[in-house]
Amino acid sequence: MMPAPHAPNLKDHSLEVLRQRLAAEGLPGYRADQIAGWLYGRGVDDLHEMTDLGRDLRKDLARRWEARALEIVHTEQSLDGTLKGVLRAADGALLEAVLIPEEERTTLCVSTQVGCPLACSFCATGAMGLTRNLRTSEIVDQICRMRELLPAGRRISNVVFMGMGEPLLNLSNVLEAVRILLHPKAFGLAPRRVTVSTSGVVPKIAELLEQVPVNLAVSLHATTDAVRDVLVPLNRRFPLAELFGALRRLPRLSRRHPIFFEYTLMAGVNDREEDAGRLVTLLRGLPAKVNLIPMNPHTDAPYRPPAPEVASHFMGLLVRGGLTTTLRRSRGQDIDAACGQLANRRRTGA
Ligand code: SAH
Ligand code: SF4
């Protein structure tokens, strides 16, 4: 049975906070560790099955706490193995998560909001507008539900906050979810296996990295304010000079801890030689890695990917300029699961 929309949920809290909450109910701290072991280690979220808690305690906890936040309502598998899940929250809101199995790792791309308020002109999620922020339990449960779809022996090794929504506009819930991802008694992921992507909510970037040691990805997409104002309207509030001022002031930057820059290549918009030249200048002196993503076309945006030879020429210019660059192969395009295509299209009738 799905919980009532606002019932307290065990997955809303990091272990530290859960310990405090349970202490307030008169329970010792190790109970939080036991519960986390079931929820995240063993993947059990029925309190009645947590056998080391004792029958009365289980019943008592189940009266006050929920442990499930999402149900999978639909899955779609791409020809390349990418698996998109459509998940429903207790209030009926629909969101999407994408599993990307590769040889040496399995990445889950999670959503942080239902829709997104930032209206980037090339992004299908942006065209939906914002419905609401996701709760921590709804972020974390994307991992619990989606990993149930993996074949035995495979586990989620990497989590990227690159699904629907802007993580830094839901920072407190994202931080609490990251703490659950990193805690050794919960998912126990190494910090370098978790990446949070932002379109450039400048005042929140330092706060994110002060709180959790994750990788930062910045969705750049343009090298002039004129072009970025159109692609990422947030640039009008936080233009390039402010964004890069803040990035250059970040502590802990080093070759081992670079900033990842996402750059969606759009034919005739940001894929020219001048753009590559300006990108090299803009990133000079920053430990940076550039991920080029050819535009994934969809009906809500007028942009197209460049021809493959234009994309590889662009990449070559960056590499010659000294930038570590990858040209990302698009995954899951045939099922609208690729970057920027998450929009619950079928269910909204579009
Ligand atoms: N809101 C955050 C994270 C989610 S978007 C952000 O913007 O960073 C994840 C990535 O997909 C971002 O880099 C985004 O710019 C990119 N993206 C959005 N629409 C796309 C599209 N149609 N084709 C390719 N990449 C796209
Ligand atoms: Fe929101 Fe990111 Fe899409 Fe922009 S690219 S509309 S910030 S989800």
* HEC readout, 129-162: CEEEECCHHHHHHHHHHHHCCCCCCCCCCEEEEC
With a pLDDT cut of 90, the percent of the chain lying above it is 87
Query: What average pLDDT does range 57-79 have in this prediction?
Result: 95
Task: Name the residue with the closest Cα to ligand 1, atom 5.
Answer: 162
Q: Taking 80 as the threshold, does the pLDDT of residue 221 lie above it? A: yes
With a pLDDT cut of 70, the percent of the chain lying above it is 93
Reported confidence tier of residue 340, pLDDT bands at 50, 70, 90 = low
Measured CA to CA in angstroms, residue 73 lies from 5, 85, 144 at distances of 17, 8, 14
Q: Taking 90 as the threshold, does the pLDDT of residue 252 lie above it? A: no
Task: State in Å: Cα 4 to ligand 1 middle.
Answer: 32
Query: What average pLDDT does range 118-146 have in this prediction?
Result: 97
pLDDT given at position 141: 98
Reported confidence tier of residue 116, pLDDT bands at 50, 70, 90 = very high
Active site residue 102: no
DSSP 123: -
Q: Taking 70 as the threshold, does the pLDDT of residue 345 lie above it? A: no
pLDDT given at position 165: 97
Q: How many CB atoms lie within 10 A of CB 68?
A: 20
Closest listed residue to residue 244, CA positions, set 276, 266, 220: 220
Q: Taking 70 as the threshold, does the pLDDT of residue 135 lie above it? A: yes
Q: Which amino acid, 273?
A: E
Q: What is the pLDDT of residues 283-314, one digit of tens each?
A: 999 999 999 999 999 988 999 999 999 999 99
Reported confidence tier of residue 3, pLDDT bands at 50, 70, 90 = low
Q: What is the pLDDT of residues 167-219, one digit of tens each?
A: 999 999 999 999 999 999 999 999 999 999 999 999 999 999 999 999 999 99
Closest listed residue to residue 346, CA positions, set 92, 83, 76, 90: 76
Reported confidence tier of residue 106, pLDDT bands at 50, 70, 90 = very high
Reported confidence tier of residue 254, pLDDT bands at 50, 70, 90 = low
Active site residue 96: yes
Reported confidence tier of residue 350, pLDDT bands at 50, 70, 90 = very low
219 Cβ closer than 6 Å to some ligand 1 atom: yes
Task: State in Å: Cα 234 to ligand 2 middle.
Answer: 10
In terms of pTM, does the model score above 0.85? yes
106 Cβ closer than 6 Å to some ligand 1 atom: no
Nearest atom in ligand 1 to the alpha carbon of residue 118 is 1
pLDDT given at position 10: 98
Highest-scoring range by mean pLDDT, 6-10, 22-26, 168-172: 168-172
